[in-house]
Amino acid sequence: MREKENQNILPPAYEGVERHLMAVFYSGVYITNADIARVGAKLGLELPLKDRMALLKQLMRHAHDNDQKPQLMQGFIDILKERADTYRQLAQTFPSASPLLGQMIQKAQSTVMLLQREMRSHPYE
């Protein structure tokens, strides 16, 4: 029972990142269940496709417990960069959507920078 409760509690270093990744308004990208499961697979964790927030918490707990914070952040950075590239292609194909897509690209790039900072930060800050 205690172990299950601990899976739902994130270390303070992950709380801001969690909220940022889950909100399209901040990140510019919708992180899907499959995206989270894909990052989990890179960390050696098999995740069922269920609630995004629960999956992300489980993944972040796993990364924290196994000292895999840099790999976790890099997994999400890769996803954000892929989506930003897709947005760029769409902006070229559909120039009238370019202003909106430009905003989403900017948010994705800002989130990449946030994750890069978090990747370099001390785990107990």
pTM of this prediction exceeds 0.85: yes
User: How many folded domains does the chain comprise?
Assistant: 1
Residue 82 located in a structural domain:
yes
Share of the chain above pLDDT 70, in %: 88
Checking if the pLDDT of 63 tops 80, the result is yes
Residue 53 located in a structural domain:
yes
104 compared with 49, residue with greater pLDDT: 104
pLDDT band at 79 (very low <50, low <70, confident <90, very high): very high
| Residues 39-61: b if buried by 16+ CB within 10 A, e if exposed | bbeeeebebeeeebeebbbbbbb
Cα–Cα distance between 80 and 67 in angstroms, integer? 22
Cα–Cα–Cα angle for 70, 71, 73, rounded to 5 degrees: 65
Residue 109 located in a structural domain:
yes
Q: Are 47 and 58 in contact (CB under 8 A)?
A: yes
Residue 125 located in a structural domain:
no
What is the domain extent for residue 77? 2-120
Q: Please state, in angstroms and as integers, the Cα–Cα distance from residue 63 to each residue in 6, 9, 101, following that order.
A: 13, 13, 32
